[in-house]
Chain A
């Protein structure tokens, strides 16, 4: 705990990142409680400037932008977290299985991994999303992680292979511990730092793809999402070309940039917390 604080304090940017991440997480959790209803269309209030009543102003239909951002946060954050989790789980399981079981399992799993690594992942994700449809959070997360676990699986596999060579695993085998037990007790903890770092990376790329799907407008807008706002702001509403409507364009952009910044800056600290080799004096 003390080291964590020390590492955070070493670079103020890390504290900023953590605050941003906590801010958006709270927004995602409590947003729906705060604003349970869709904000009403109000033709009297089109593109209103920010005020006490409308923190970020209103959109082309007079709806409150701040409320939309808060409501969109839940979709963005929940799907991102779930998608990143799926990516990590699939990648870790495949990597562990391939690296530890070896032989035929290894070659089959790695051939499959190779295919996923070579396929243009965004393209495949878009096709999947359109075909299957983004019906609920779990389906969205599954689709987003489907094409993105290959890199982790490969890395985990090679790490397992090198950990397997180390003496303590041999000793455990000699003591008659089962393979599964060794995998869980000896091998996995050694890989944990890498997996945690990868989780942060996966978060940013899931946010990227998820919001992007909505921005492109190729999937039905069933959910509130910053991507939907960005799509309207740059497309049909014409908000892009008027200074009066700047808040409608700027809000989703800022939300995405700040969320990604938060994740990146936090992962900078996480990196150092889980990997003591990065710690240096001074």
Chain B
């Protein structure tokens, strides 16, 4: 399988008044063609920042400190000049933004906004609108009405679906979806995810879902990347992560999903507060909340350990020949 995007040693920092916050800390991952990947983590884990990192467009005061982001094996986005990058955006990689309701120009009809995208990417305006109508219809939107509407005339859920349709408009190779279903009710949530899954299979595009709630995307992602305090703590196939998580953090995350049947009390989620990214410890950031914490967890960052050919975890518990006990 061809690799769509390869991220190597990506670090993103935020310069704040209180100090430098490492939002994304030496992260490596890749996304293959046609693959659907979920990036999961608490707020502050750096997962949304990665989305902007993929565009090499982290909003100020954030800044990419180091790393390489390579598309199709040879195109390094960080070396792209402005105009090339502009053309690359949306035609090759697009995004469904968190708070998608606010990502439409409030004083322009949806149709004009579609035409603006078409114009920017040298696509025939009529064709673009036609394509949008098709997409709207698959999302159960009244296409005629939506085209003529101003954003404020649409409900939050409708705007979210418009935003998803816009992301698919130019049939990019990769679509990043940052909490794409937050504004939707459970029924539309399922419908939208199904549509995305179908489009992916039909067009062979890759999807990157960014979410704090693994249960939402469990059915449509192939692989999951779990982040904690700016670092990847575990990756693996979705089935493995859900049924047999390795990292104590992932275990807590999975355990905190309310079961469909049974008592709510039986869930035992995570203890403590999310990591303070401004004052990261020298060792593992999760150590203070970890139930299996070891002495050296506080001293040194755990290495990334290959569990099987598809799964990796960054935890001392899985080190070969570990000597001391929990």
Contacts and interface: CB of A to CB of B under 8 A. Distances in A.
A, B: real partners:
yes
Interface of A: 279, 281-282
A282 B15 CA distance: 9
Contacts of B16: 281
B59 interface: no
**Chain A, interface SS category:** loop
A130 to B, nearest CB: 47
Contacts of A282: 15
Interface in B17-31: 17
Interface string B5-20: 0000000000111000
A281 B15 CA distance: 8
B61 interface: yes
Interface string B54-74: 000000010000000000000
6 contacts: A279-B17, A281-B15, A281-B16, A281-B17, A281-B61, A282-B15
Interface of B: 15-17, 61
A163 to B, nearest CB: 24
Nearest to A276: B17
Nearest to B15: A281
A125 to B, nearest CB: 38
The 6 closest A-B pairs by CB, nearest first: A281-B17, A281-B15, A281-B61, A281-B16, A279-B17, A282-B15
Contacts of A279: 17
A281 B61 CA distance: 9
Contacts of A281: 15-17, 61
A261 to B, nearest CB: 30
Nearest to B17: A281
B14 to A, nearest CB: 10
Nearest to A279: B17
A279 B16 CA distance: 11
Among B15, B16, B17, find the residue whose CB has the most chain A CB atoms closer than 10 A: B17
Contacts of B17: 279, 281
Nearest to B18: A281
Contacts of B61: 281
Nearest to B16: A281
B63 to A, nearest CB: 12
A279 B17 CA distance: 9
A44 B116 CA distance: 77
A4 to B, nearest CB: 16
B146 to A, nearest CB: 32
A130 B54 CA distance: 69
A279 B61 CA distance: 13
A110 B17 CA distance: 41
A279 B15 CA distance: 13
A279 B18 CA distance: 12
B71 to A, nearest CB: 32
B30 to A, nearest CB: 34
A282 B20 CA distance: 13
A2 B212 CA distance: 40
A236 B15 CA distance: 62
Nearest to A281: B17
Nearest to B61: A281
Nearest to A282: B15
A281 B21 CA distance: 13
A276 to B, nearest CB: 10
B278 to A, nearest CB: 14
A281 B17 CA distance: 6
Contacts of B15: 281-282
A158 to B, nearest CB: 20
B37 to A, nearest CB: 34
A185 to B, nearest CB: 29
A282 B17 CA distance: 9
B205 to A, nearest CB: 39
A237 B49 CA distance: 70
